Copies of this chain bind each other. A is one copy, B any other.
Amino acid sequence: MIIQLESKITEQAKAKLLEKIKETGYKTSEVRTQFRSYLVATGSKEFDIRSIGNLPGVADIHRVSDPYKLVSRKWKVEDTVIDLGDGVVIRRGDLAMMAGPCSIESEEQVLKTINHLKDNGLSIMRGGVYKPRSSPYSFRGLGIDGLKMWHDLAQENGIKIITEVMHTEQIEEMYPYVDIFQVGARNAQNFNLLDALGQVDKPVMLKRGMSGTIEELLQAAEYVFSNGNEKILLCERGIRTYETASRNTFDINAIPILKDKSHLPVIADPSHGIGIRSYVEPVALAAVMAGADGVIVEVHETPERAASDGQQTLDFEEAGRLYGKMRGVMKIRNS
């Protein structure tokens, strides 16, 4: 049960409301986000919610049977819009295209990528400065200094930055330089990280876990939302199955299901979703066709020489072609 509070609810009215909910045997969590205040009440007893809905200070009340509440479309019907400023907006009906290398490597590389983005009319650049690597002996990214360098170049060029945060301690120092915090598949259920990102006022993109369910992804989003941050993007990036012909199995089903279950925007990551450069394009186009609100693609001037694994990375020419085709798909999707 979600109770949206009026912004000017009195302390007295709130106390009475909490008292009343307690009587029903429900447990209540108070949620204050950037935009609104809510009470999320969980319990199992059936009762007439109007007895609470009619109390002073209650703006709206909804029953939500899903294990996730505030991110459910059962409660909030209109789609969430993510506004990055400077006219860069992620919303249903548009297609947010994000592209960039696996790892930020050098000033030269960043500049070339930025130029590639600008040439193709893109405004959001991806790239890793903290890299989760399965081996401790692998390159783990340029860290905060790389991010600062990247940020300077991006800002000059009107480009927004999405990059992975691996650890709560990184949030504060990354904050000034990041437009969207990305949570990687391996941290999909790192609840402390999710809690902490809920206290930030910048958007967060949550990647589905390696073998995470759709429900778990939505519950991860609930963590962020219930800690105060409503600006969440969900990302399908392929799941782990028995099939070895591709690196992951891109779960195309997840796109319409997530769009239906939640009001949050859904981003597709075809690069990881199939993991093989020559097949990234058809998967990207399919994801757009299935209703994705955005696509995040790995691109590098010379994929063969990328610092991190470039097996799933497009070169500038391939990527340019893909952007154009995705725009074509959007036209029929919107027609």
A-side residues, CB < 8 A to B, are: 27, 29, 40, 42, 67-69, 132-137, 166-169, 186-187, 189-192, 195, 209-211, 213-216, 219, 222-223, 226-227, 239-246, 249-257, 260, 273-274, 278-279, 282-283, 285-291, 325, 328-329, 331-332, 335
Q: Tell me the nearest residue of chain B to A134, going by C-beta.
A: B219
Excluding A166-B192, A168-B168, A249-B249, 12 further A-B contacts by CB distance (< 8 Å) are A68-B135, A134-B189, A166-B190, A186-B189, A245-B254, A249-B251, A253-B283, A256-B283, A283-B290, A285-B290, A286-B290, A328-B332
Copies per complex of this chain: 4
Q: Are B260 and A249 in contact (CB under 8 A)?
A: no
Closest partner residue, chain B, to A238 (CB atom): B253
A169 to chain B, nearest CB (A): 7
- Residues in B with CB closer than 8 Å to A137 are 27, 29, 40, 42, 69, 226
Q: Find out whether the CB atom of A239 lies under 8 angstroms from the CB atom of B245.
A: no
B239 and A243 contact, CB distance less than 8 A: yes
| Contact in complex: B273, A282 (CB < 8 Å) | no
A273, A274, A290 interface centre (most CB from chain B within 10 Å): A290
Contact of A240 among B189, B195, B211, B285 (CB under 8 A): B211
Give CA–CA (A286, B195) in the complex, Å.
Answer: 35
Contact of A210 among B134, B209, B251, B283 (CB under 8 A): B209
**Is there contact, CB below 8 Å, between B219 and A289?**
no
Q: In the complex, what distance in Å separates the CA atom of A27 from the CA atom of B139?
A: 11
Q: Which residues of B contact A210 (CB under 8 A)?
A: 209-211
Q: Is the CB of B329 within 8 A of A289?
A: yes
Which of chain B's residues have a CB closer than 8 A to the CB of A246?
253, 257
* CB–CB A136/B223 < 8 A: yes
Instruction: Tell which of B213, B260, B290 touches A243, judged by Cβ atoms closer than 8 Å.
Output: B213
Residues of B within 8 A of A253 (CB): 243, 245-246, 249-250, 273-274, 279, 283
B213 touches A244 (CB 8 A): yes
Given the complex, which residues of B lie within 8 Å of A290, measured CB to CB? 282-283, 285-286
Query: For the complex, what is the distance from the CA of A211 to the CA of B188, rounded to whole Å?
Result: 13
Contact assessment for A239 and B249 in the assembled complex, using a CB-CB cutoff below 8 Å = yes
Q: When A29-B137, A192-B166, A241-B241 are in contact, do A282 and B289 touch as well, CB less than 8 Å?
A: yes
Closest CB in chain B relative to A234 CB, distance in Å:
13
Measured CB to CB, the closest approach of chain B to A190, in angstroms, equals: 6
Q: List 16 A-B contacts (CB under 8 A).
A: A134-B219, A136-B223, A169-B192, A186-B191, A211-B242, A213-B242, A239-B241, A241-B249, A243-B251, A246-B257, A249-B253, A252-B287, A253-B283, A260-B279, A288-B289, A289-B289
Q: Which of B135, B166, B286 meets A67, CB within 8 Å?
A: B135
